Amino acid sequence: MTGTGATETGATDAAPEPPALRTPLTDLVGVRHPVVQTGMGWVAGPRLVSATAEAGGLGILASATMTYDELEHAVAEVKSRTDRPFGVNLRADAEDAGERVDLLIREGVRVASFALAPRPEMIAKLKDAGVVVIPSVGAAKHAAKVASWGADAVIVQGGEGGGHTGGVATTLLLPSVLDAVDIPVVAAGGFYDGRGLAAALAYGAAGVAMGTRFLLTRESTVPDEVKRAYLARGLTDTVVTRKVDGLPHRVLRTDLVDSLERSGAVTGLARAVRNAIRFRRLTGVSWRSMLTEGRAMKRSGDRTWAQVLMAANTPMLLRAGLVRGETDAGVLASGQVVGLLDDLPTVADLVETMVTEAHTRLSSLP
């Protein structure tokens, strides 16, 4: 699936859409298929999101690495490319989170997703305006908490997933969350084809969410040389490191990551200071805002101030690899599933193949 012939949104002229695969997620959001493209920083832009929407899935814009103006333009571009539902991933602890929520409401964005749990009043405001709220969680207790606050659904990522991740496999984490809440649960971590989608639905999930698989599509704006670097990896070529920002982070194993693993605290903090300055210049975030967000991060978990400062590493190291193509100077977030991928399909082909295979697998069950 590496030829050409797709439109810019990834849909082909000849291939009809596969039969809709209806679940509580599709009913909730208004999409045809229970396939979610996650809000990956520097990756999930308008082209990928609109292609996912046109293919019948739920595409989610990544706004944490955008300024407010960039987010406004990105939402407008998605709406110019598709009239189907899509979502935006927000940082609940951002200084301008309230303004971004207002933007989603004003523009009629269907879904607001969150990597960190939004406050109950933020959930209520979005829901009152008809926006579906879907936080990401890493434990059953967190799912129960956001459900009690009014979240409409949750995405739960097992340890196989890329980026910030936990230590419990999806096959164990998913059923624990399903037992804890009565809202739709979307499974993430280790999914890439129709077999996985069918398995998740058999567990009781309402769909699957994927990052690495969508990163490795033709509509993804990640540089081609970086995509080739991903496709060359095997199942054991990712590593979970805390040296990026102090939290467990699954990334491709590279010379830079090995160097970070060997570096001491002083070297890591010096790098974080430089990246904090670069991130501020790039996004226009004020020092006051960064300090406010740092305090919120400190209150919301058990991070030290050193780890809070290290958080500046994440967006800048990811940008070096995923935007600028500097595989030797950037960090490449990746799920373990990268070792099973060897192609760059269009988003339309990916979703169609997944849904068709899932239909076949599910119909064959007794």
Buried b (16+ CB within 10 A) or exposed e, 1-15: eeeeebeebbbeeee
Q: Is the pLDDT of residue 75 over 50?
A: yes
Please tell me whether residue 200 adopts helix, strand or coil conformation. helix
pLDDT of 337 higher than 90: yes
| 226 band by pLDDT with thresholds 50, 70 and 90 | very high
Return the bridge partners of 240, or none.
250
**Is the distance from CB of 41 to CB of 311 less than 8 angstroms?**
no
307: pLDDT strictly greater than 70: no
> Measuring CA to CA, which residue among 248, 240, 250 is closest to residue 310?
248
Is the per-residue pLDDT at 128 higher than 90?
Answer: yes
Task: Please give the residue that has the higher pLDDT: either 221 or 243.
Answer: 221
pLDDT confidence of residue 168? 97
Over residues 8-45, the pLDDT tens digits come to 444 445 456 789 999 999 999 999 999 999 999 999 99
Pick from 39, 351, 33: which is nearest to 211 by CA? 39
> 185: part of which helix (H) or strand (E)?
strand 185-188
Interval 179-211: pLDDT, tens:
999 999 999 999 999 999 999 999 999 999 999
Angle, alpha carbons 189-302-246 (nearest 5°): 60
Look-up of token digits 């979005």: 126
pTM of the model: 0.86
Quick one: pLDDT at residue 131?
98
| Per-residue model confidence (pLDDT) at position 266 | 53
Homologous superfamily of the 24-221+341-363 domain (CATH): Aldolase class I (3.20.20.70)
Compute the 3-state secondary structure of the chain and give helix, strand, coil in percent, each to the nearest 5.
45, 10, 40
What pLDDT, in 10s, does the model give residues 311-328?
Answer: 656 777 788 889 988 887
Q: Which residues pair with 251 in a beta bridge?
A: 239, 333
Helices (H), the chain: 24-29, 46-54, 68-81, 97-107, 120-128, 140-148, 170-180, 194-203, 212-215, 224-231, 255-262, 265-283, 287-300, 305-310, 313-322, 347-363
Distance CA 348, CA 363 (A): 22
Average pLDDT value for residue range 257-266: 72
> How many whole angstroms separate alpha carbon 204 and alpha carbon 109?
27
Q: Where are the domains of the chain?
A: 24-221+341-363, 234-333
Question: Which pLDDT belongs to residue 240?
Answer: 96
Q: Is it the case that residue 7 has pLDDT exceeding 50?
A: no
pLDDT at 13: 53
Q: Is the pLDDT of residue 303 over 80?
A: no
Per the prediction, the chain carries an average pLDDT of 87
pLDDT, greater one: 90 or 278? 90
Q: What is the mean pLDDT of residues 287-303?
A: 52
Per-position b or e across 322-352, b if 16+ CB within 10 A of its CB: bbebbbeebbbbbbbbbbebeebbbbbbbbb
